[in-house]
Structure 1
Amino acid sequence: MDIFDSKKIDPMLISEMRDPFDSPDHIFEIKWDGIRCVSYLDTDTDMRNKRNKLMIPILPELENLHKQVKTKCILDHELLVLKNGLPDFYEVQKRALMTNPFKIKLAADRYPASIIAYDILYYKDKDITMLPLIERKKYLQDVVIENNMISVSRYVENNGVMLFDLVKEKGLEGVVAKKKSSLYWQGKRSKDWIKFKVMASDDCVICGYI
């Protein structure tokens, strides 16, 4: 069955966490602190989370997302809510659980959601999951018309350690290293995608325990 019509895509997953590294065979992207979703965009917007829950009823500010792409496509992306210019996971998680239409409208006006697209799985009428990632990135860049609702994830080549240091300095979640040649395996944990996570730490004195 056509993957656009079935609307049952399980996002590809990261299999492991490692220390930051440099590599000419990888691209490096910021790991955003949001909710992973897949959007099916054509004459309307059909966005679903990893459990296949319909998201647009609770994100009315994104109902016209389909107008920001040049052709029928499926995007893999992070759903974010920004506060003071930074992703706020608590806020986006709270939005995802809302059911009251009035509260949804208030939240949408106060802190509107947006998405950062980092992969494209379908272009026009074609499944492109078996194209190498670096080729899919070209389709993604071409198809998206960026605005306040949607942006395309930028990446760097070779310099994973440098990007990780910048992300750590800015207080972001981490970095994902992806092989340029990687295919998109639905629902699979692949070693082609590796995360470098910023680990929060502190020095503490233990005064007692039970």
Structure 2
Amino acid sequence: MFISPMLLESKIEPFSSVEHIYELKLDGHRAIMSSYNNNYEIYTRYGNPVSNRYPELREFVPKRSIVLDGEMIVTDSTTGLPKPNFEKLIARFQTTKEGKIHFLMKEQPVTFVAFDILYLDGKNLMNLPLSERKQILEKELDNTEHIVKMQYIEEYGEALFEAVKEQGLEGICIKAKNSKYFPNIRSSNWLKVLNYSFLDVWIIGYRVDKFGLIAAIKGESSLKNIGIIEHGSINIRREFYNKVRSYTQEEKNNFVYIQPYVKARVKFLNWTSKGYMRIPVLIEIVK
């Protein structure tokens, strides 16, 4: 049984409120876990069944009829504090060959972190307020080796976000205690605040067929490519193209390289293992 998940609106700054709960935003992929009418399946947020990619979860799924909303993660402790590793999770997600799956489930086991309960024993719980659904989830779901409940706090959202920044985590979710669950709706009752890093970069070129700017920083002896910027407001994109209209340009392999370079400010989530910015967003052309 697939339920299209409720979505979160973005917010720039956290806040504290007794009317909300606060959870970590985990760096994984959204998942609906359904054990309904003796049929077990895990779905992505788009409704694609993927339970065969995560066989280590099967024996820990509740035997009763239940539908859970949560996040699939792979935890990495090689850098000290254990925290979700998105690249390792994607490696698991993209693996479809049975032999490789069984190897990776030992080397990079997944954890399903449940933060909401939508159905229980055939009863629709989505019209209940979140605070009641949390109480039911706490009572009805036991933590196991690969399925755990999301921890949350009340009121102290700003303090939680400060801790997230200190530990280099992805961000926080802010949810109204009285919020009902609306499938496939992006609601201001559910918010996310991401822990972005900010950096000044040089734009050395742009993609021809669709928006994409080549970002670079100074390396030891030359500029170092640190990724393609594919996000930014229409106004700031227009500002960039207007600025480089008179610059020297050379087209090669679907990219136009410019002289002089353009200095810009970006925000991004983190660095990948290969030294690229993850999901960079253009926020300012530096004058």
TM-score w.r.t. structure 2 length?
Answer: 0.67
- CA–CA distance in structure 2, aligned partners of residues 16 and 157 of structure 1: 20
Equivalent position SS for 2:197: coil
- CA–CA distance in structure 2, aligned partners of residues 16 and 197 of structure 1: 8
| 1:49 counterpart = 2:44 | yes
Larger fraction in strand: 2
| 1:180 counterpart = 2:177 | yes
**Equivalent in 13, 38, 43 of residue 7 of structure 2:** 13
Which of the pair has more CA radius of gyration? 2
Q: Which residue in 2 is equivalent to 1:106?
A: 103
Is the CA contact (8 Å cut-off) linking 1:123 and 1:139 kept in structure 2? no
Q: Which residue in 2 is equivalent to 1:82?
A: 75
| 1:26 counterpart = 2:20 | yes
Q: Using the aligned pairs only, state the percent identity.
A: 33
TM-score w.r.t. structure 1 length?
Answer: 0.90
Is the CA contact (8 Å cut-off) linking 1:45 and 1:64 kept in structure 2? no
How has the CA–CA distance of structure 1 residues 204 and 52 changed in structure 2, closer, same or farther, with 3 Å as cutoff? Answer: closer
Q: Which residue in 2 is equivalent to 1:3?
A: none
- CA–CA distance in structure 2, aligned partners of residues 181 and 57 of structure 1: 35
Shift in Å, 1:71: 3.3
Is the CA contact (8 Å cut-off) linking 1:40 and 1:46 kept in structure 2? yes
Opposite residue 261 of structure 2, the aligned amino acid is Y
Shift in Å, 1:159: 0.5
Give aligned pairs, total.
Answer: 202
Trace 1:12-161 onto structure 2 (pairs within 5 A).
Answer: 12-42=6-36, 43=38, 45-66=40-61, 69=62, 71-84=64-77, 85-161=82-158
Opposite residue 20 of structure 1, the aligned amino acid is P
Equivalent position SS for 2:198: coil
Shift in Å, 1:160: 0.3
Shift in Å, 1:95: 1.1
Is the CA contact (8 Å cut-off) linking 2:2 and 2:34 kept in structure 1? no
Unaligned 5+ segments in structure 2 are 203-216, 219-259, 263-287
- CA–CA distance in structure 2, aligned partners of residues 168 and 154 of structure 1: 18
Unaligned 5+ segments in structure 1 are 1-6
How has the CA–CA distance of structure 1 residues 70 and 62 changed in structure 2, closer, same or farther, with 3 Å as cutoff? Answer: closer
**Coordinate RMSD, CA, aligned:** 1.7
Q: Which residue in 2 is equivalent to 1:199?
A: 196
Which region of structure 1 is more displaced relative to structure 2, 112-121 or 39-48? 39-48
Larger fraction in helix: 1
* Higher relative contact order, structure no. (Cα contacts within 8 Å, ≥ 6 residues apart): 1
